[in-house]
Amino acid sequence: MTGLSNATLHTLPPEVLTPAYNRKEVSAGIAHIGVGNFHRAHQALYIDRLLGAAGQSSWGILGAGIRHGRREEVRADAFRRQDGLFSLTEFAPDESRTIRVIGSIVDYVSCVDGYEAIIDRLAAPEIRIVSLTITEGGYFVDSEGRFQVDDPFIAEDLKRDIPQSAFGLVTEALRRRREAGAGPFTVLSCDNLQHNGRVAETAFCGFAEARDASLAAWIRGNVSFPSCMVDRIVPSVSDDDIRRLNKASGIDDLMPVYSEDFIQWVVEDKFCAGRPEFETAGVQLTGNVEPYEQVKLRMLNAGHSILAFSGLMMGYRKVDEAMSDNGIVSLLENFLNEDVAPLLSPPEDVNLSSYAAQVLHRFRNHAVGDQLERIASDSFSKLPVFLSETVTELLKTGRDIHRVAFALACWAECEAGKDGKGAVIKLSEPAATDKERSVFHDSNLLAVLDLPIFSGWGIETNKGFRDAFERYRSDLRTKGPAEVIATL
């Protein structure tokens, strides 16, 4: 097997696609914070396509790793050893696959080398866009839309001369650029959040405000925060996956990634320091992303969550396995078509029933074999984004709430740690406190609904919803999930 680096690019097996441009001519104009699997299989692929077009060579990506720890050390080392190259295998639903080496991440800066090094790179005038994937829960903006300046993580960072959070690093870089007259860059959130641009603006300006009000005013007046909708299913990569992917590619890749073949990126065209010709790479530019975000988050992501909660309860661990269960499929179909679709105002080019069918088709992709535990994890951050509006609107309009109550009952049981067969379920909830996690073991089954993540949903006072939730939780324990799902 061949190792991966600039020097070996021309020796790779012929079925592997390689960059259609000369990497030596590419420089970084985009800095990306959070170079995880999703970024590498999504934005890095779009930019890889873009770099193949004429005149785009100043839009390569500088990856930035800002969370210190063992994982970052390993990643920084892999980026260094492989010159930023990695392989992406895309699987189509018919199991055919395309393997390509992505060359768009032309540089990498890691907190392993100190946070000053990151600020320095972001402050350099060549960087005209700073994009981010820092997860749904990574913005510290509460349900009222306020930046949580008192959160211990933020408060700690505000005290540092050299900050370490995304907010601290970016605002410090912007401060230096203002001082040097280097002008602003665009901050582009690529996380699964509704109006992610606005959320990012609240977070970055909130942080700046707490340090220096005049800097906050400058950022508000000069930096643009476009929203965008990102879509591609990208599973976690286990050690077994690494072996399997490398065996198929013939490349000894330290960090291969894989995904479905579907991809979409809809971006609000609002860039204060120029932008690449995204269109040439298949990115959709628009004046209003919100309707696209609504459809994607409330159908695909919420559908994913419901599939994960019910699938895990049924004893499945993979998405495609759960999709072979007729009860689960009809629960999903009814949720997407009967519960969510009537509440949405989709963009003109989106037909909701075809969208729902396509979502199910994507979930069935056997070769992707996405993990239900991955999808169900971090629900403390995801549920308010994916489900709250749907639940609130269902309650307000007096529509059927049974499927959503059931989904949340399944979620609570998953968090309690056992599926319908008594096997262990392990979800990771980085945004939950220990006290919040203990609520799933409370003998009062309704205590879960008092969690702060449910505030503002309208379920606090809705007896019908609360009764249904409680009954489903107890039925899941006594009757088992299959019998309950059959009634939905």
| Positions in the binding site for ligand CS2 (CB under 6 A) | 192, 231-233, 301, 304, 375, 382
Closest distance of CB 128 from ligand CS2, Å: 26
Q: How many Cα atoms within 13 Å fall on the side-chain side of residue 13? A: 16
107 or 321, CB closer to ligand CS2? Answer: 321
Closest distance of CB 427 from ligand CS2, Å: 12
* Cβ contact 268:226 at 8 Å: yes
175 or 232, CB closer to ligand CS2? Answer: 232
Closest distance of CB 319 from ligand CS2, Å: 9
298 or 304, CB closer to ligand CS2? Answer: 304
Closest distance of CB 371 from ligand CS2, Å: 10
CA distance 55 to 392: 48
Question: What value, to the nearest 5°, has the Cα angle with vertex 168 and ends 164 and 173?
Answer: 110
Closest distance of CB 324 from ligand CS2, Å: 19
Closest distance of CB 194 from ligand CS2, Å: 13
233 or 407, CB closer to ligand CS2? Answer: 233
CA distance 244 to 247: 5
32 or 382, CB closer to ligand CS2? Answer: 382
* Cβ contact 318:263 at 8 Å: no
**Lateral strand order in the sheet of 257-260:** 16-17, 97-102, 86-91, 257-260
Rounded to an integer, what is the distance from CA 235 to the centroid of its chain?
A: 11
For 267, list phi and psi in degrees, rounded to 5.
-125, 135
Closest distance of CB 301 from ligand CS2, Å: 4
Helix ranges (H only) for 347-416 are: 352-363, 372-376, 379-386, 388-396, 402-416
> Which residue sits closest to ligand CS2, CB atoms considered?
304
* Cβ contact 470:446 at 8 Å: yes
344 or 375, CB closer to ligand CS2? Answer: 375
> Hey, is 30 helix, strand or coil?
strand
354 or 461, CB closer to ligand CS2? Answer: 354
CA distance 172 to 275: 22
Backbone CA torsion sign across 131, 136, 139, 141: positive
Strand partners of residue 251: 2
